[in-house]
Amino acid sequence: MKLNKKKLIIIFSIAILIVPDIIINFKKDIIIFSLIIISKICLLIFFSLILQKLTKSYFISYITLGFLYLSSSLIETINTCILNNYITLDNIKALFYTSKSEINEFYNQFYLYFLIPIFIFISFLFILKKIKIYNYNKNNHIIIYSIVSLFISISISTYLVFNSPQIFSGTNIIKYTFKKYYVKQHPFNIFYRAYELIISRSKFNKYKLQKDSFKFNVLNKTDSLDRPDIVILIIGERIRYSNWSINDYKKKTSPNLESIENIISFKNHYSNGNSTAGSIPYLITQATPQKPILAYSQKTIVSLFKEAGYKTTWISSQNIFDYIENKTEPDKVFELYNKKHTDLDILPVFDSIIKTKNKKFIVINMIGGHGSIPKSFNKFKPNSLLKKYPLSFKNKSIFINDYDNMIFLQDYVLSKIIKSTKHENLSSIILFTADHGCNLFENENLFGYGSSNPTEKETHIPLFIWGSDKFIKNNSKYSNLIKHQNLLTTNDNVFYTLADLADIKYTSYLNNQSISDSLYKEPSTRFVYINGTYKEYNNNNNNNNNNNNNNKTK
Ligand SMILES: [Zn+2]
């Protein structure tokens, strides 16, 4: 084929419009990479030919095609650079509902990636200008060419599905191929996710009445002797299990918690999601990845404690209320996220509440891995406290030091909360866990969380439970916790465990779901909610990072 100027422009325009596909598949095996790219090019040619036939103009067909591809490309490019996957509903929610500090973090670290979409856009305008001079030549075989292109694209996608574990999982292969390789990829994915967002909004509206009138029907409202005076749920942000020295991490990241008595650290605890939006609903409601509707139709753990006669307070260091729309449930809410702050600012607020005289249920959601680190927690060096480094594998040790300093701060704040609670000398219980974990460049240079195939590091999170001496004394629930600390547990258990520890009996309580119940039943698999569906993980394969081969997708 002789390359003239016009052909070069066509090749360049194709390359420009499929940039996200090139980035996302770049690290794959060369044959797979080539097949995917050929499939993408064929799909593009198919659309392009059809449009040319209809409009009889290169210029108009390129504008139309450009609108479809470009609006997707600009967003998908950034998402694929950061998370190595096409944008998901949770990624969009995080973008819309995220706190200001999260956005800043995003822009500070990833400003370079914004240059790629700008480059794509300028190139698009350049091609548009060039194409204007070409006249459309009538070609009788255009329909045949377009059908052949589409056929090649579909054949390759089907071939790829037939070489994946999906073929053995009983999935409807045609439907699966269509969804995975077309609907959930560039250029359609972004429109599909927008549609999903509208559906999710309408779900909140649909179940609003049901939720407003929802009651847990607490059976023992009058104070029982076993009921603790203070119950605290602390939710960490982007906190993984393995970077705490209390969990045998080699660096001394949690010296304070290590010196406190009565703390149980659970070894095999997992989140039910790998993003904030995909995890918080399953942590604070009775919803599970298999029954997500309960997050819309029922109230949260706050209302359970309210029904049981507790005064409820929520200290919010990060705005997570929008994920579950429960800001009106607590008796009092402290919104620390409205101004510049760190997790240290939780402490004075907490100390003012803990002294009040009544039975208390306090939820604290920390900003954790999205917050900034005060200078006094600059323990592990070198780090990016004074100088910003680009996020790359080369700077791995810098980002790990940043992460460890953040854990060091969490350790300090948690230990202060425990000490203030201990000082009250009442029957008290504190539970700490996180919304999800985080990759720190251990798996294919992956950093962060929210990937479409969650790694072990994205979901293995800490679960610490502390009880005061008064609570522990003669309490079989605390000894059950110790007995169960090595078993597989998930954030699905948090709701039932807190209810059980507070001796709250209500109609939908499940004793085999509470870790403090003698009847706790260790599950053989765990579930991770992901984009409206869930993945099932076999407990034996938890440490295998290549989840492709050992999980099932619904
Ligand atoms: Zn999060």
Residue 145 pLDDT greater than 70, yes or no: yes
Residue 544 pLDDT greater than 50, yes or no: no
Supply the DSSP symbol for 487.
Answer: S
Instruction: Report pLDDT digits (tens) over 375-422.
Output: 999 999 999 888 877 777 888 999 999 999 999 999 999 999 999 999
Residue 2: its pLDDT value, please? 57
Centroid of ligand 1 to alpha carbon of 436 (angstroms): 6
Average pLDDT over the chain reads: 87
Residue 351 pLDDT greater than 70, yes or no: yes
Categorize the per-residue pLDDT at 165 as very low, low, confident or very high, splitting at 50, 70 and 90: low
Centroid of ligand 1 to alpha carbon of 434 (angstroms): 8
Centroid of ligand 1 to alpha carbon of 238 (angstroms): 5
Kindly tell me the sign of the dihedral angle through the C-alpha atoms of 67, 69, 72, 75. Answer: negative
**Helix ranges (DSSP H) in 299-428:** 301-307, 321-324, 346-354, 396-423
| 503-541: burial string, b at 16+ Cβ within 10 Å, e else | bbebeebbeebbbbbeebeeeeebbbbbbeebbbbeeee
What value does the mean pLDDT take over residues 334-339? 85
What value does the mean pLDDT take over residues 312-333? 89
Q: Is 495:284 a contact under the CB 8 Å cutoff?
A: yes
Kindly tell me the sign of the dihedral angle through the C-alpha atoms of 254, 258, 261, 265. Answer: positive
The Cβ of residue 159 has, within 10 Å, a number of other Cβ atoms equal to: 12
Residue 67: its pLDDT value, please? 87
Categorize the per-residue pLDDT at 202 as very low, low, confident or very high, splitting at 50, 70 and 90: confident
Contacts of 349 (CB under 8 A, 6+ apart): 315, 334, 336
The mean-pLDDT minimum among 165-179, 342-356, 449-463 falls in: 165-179
Centroid of ligand 1 to alpha carbon of 366 (angstroms): 10
> What is the pTM (predicted TM-score) of this model?
0.76
Residue 128 pLDDT greater than 60, yes or no: yes
Centroid of ligand 1 to alpha carbon of 435 (angstroms): 5
Q: Is the peptide bond before 382 cis (omega within 30 degrees of 0)?
A: yes
At residue 428, the 3 state secondary structure works out as strand
Residue 378: its pLDDT value, please? 92
- C-alpha closest to that of 269 among 279, 278, 257: 279
Sheet containing 533-538: give its strands across. Answer: 525-530, 533-538, 551-553
What value does the mean pLDDT take over residues 118-144? 85
Residue 170 pLDDT greater than 60, yes or no: no
Residue 178: its pLDDT value, please? 84
Instruction: Report pLDDT digits (tens) over 26-41.
Output: 878 899 899 999 999 9
Categorize the per-residue pLDDT at 540 as very low, low, confident or very high, splitting at 50, 70 and 90: low
Centroid of ligand 1 to alpha carbon of 394 (angstroms): 25
Categorize the per-residue pLDDT at 543 as very low, low, confident or very high, splitting at 50, 70 and 90: very low
Alpha-carbon span 128 to 62, nearest angstrom: 7
Residue 98: its pLDDT value, please? 56
Q: Is 319:101 a contact under the CB 8 Å cutoff?
A: no
Centroid of ligand 1 to alpha carbon of 214 (angstroms): 27
Kindly tell me the sign of the dihedral angle through the C-alpha atoms of 486, 238, 251, 373. Answer: negative
Centroid of ligand 1 to alpha carbon of 90 (angstroms): 10
Residue 345 pLDDT greater than 70, yes or no: yes
Tokens describing residue 298: 């029922």
Q: Is 282:288 a contact under the CB 8 Å cutoff?
A: yes
Q: Is 468:262 a contact under the CB 8 Å cutoff?
A: yes
Higher-pLDDT residue of 93 and 493 is 493
Instruction: Report pLDDT digits (tens) over 270-299.
Output: 999 998 888 999 999 999 999 999 999 999
Alpha-carbon span 388 to 204, nearest angstrom: 40
Residue 548 pLDDT greater than 50, yes or no: no
Q: Is the peptide bond before 187 cis (omega within 30 degrees of 0)?
A: yes
Centroid of ligand 1 to alpha carbon of 83 (angstroms): 14
Centroid of ligand 1 to alpha carbon of 322 (angstroms): 13
Centroid of ligand 1 to alpha carbon of 276 (angstroms): 4
Residue 169 pLDDT greater than 60, yes or no: no
Residue 510 pLDDT greater than 60, yes or no: yes
Q: What angle do CA 263, 266, 270 make, to 5 degrees?
A: 140
Residue 547: its pLDDT value, please? 36
Centroid of ligand 1 to alpha carbon of 144 (angstroms): 50
Higher-pLDDT residue of 91 and 247 is 247
- C-alpha closest to that of 157 among 144, 146, 166: 166
**Percentage of residues of the chain with pLDDT beyond 90:** 56
The mean-pLDDT minimum among 79-93, 343-357, 434-448 falls in: 79-93
* Highest mean pLDDT out of 80-84, 335-339, 504-508: 504-508
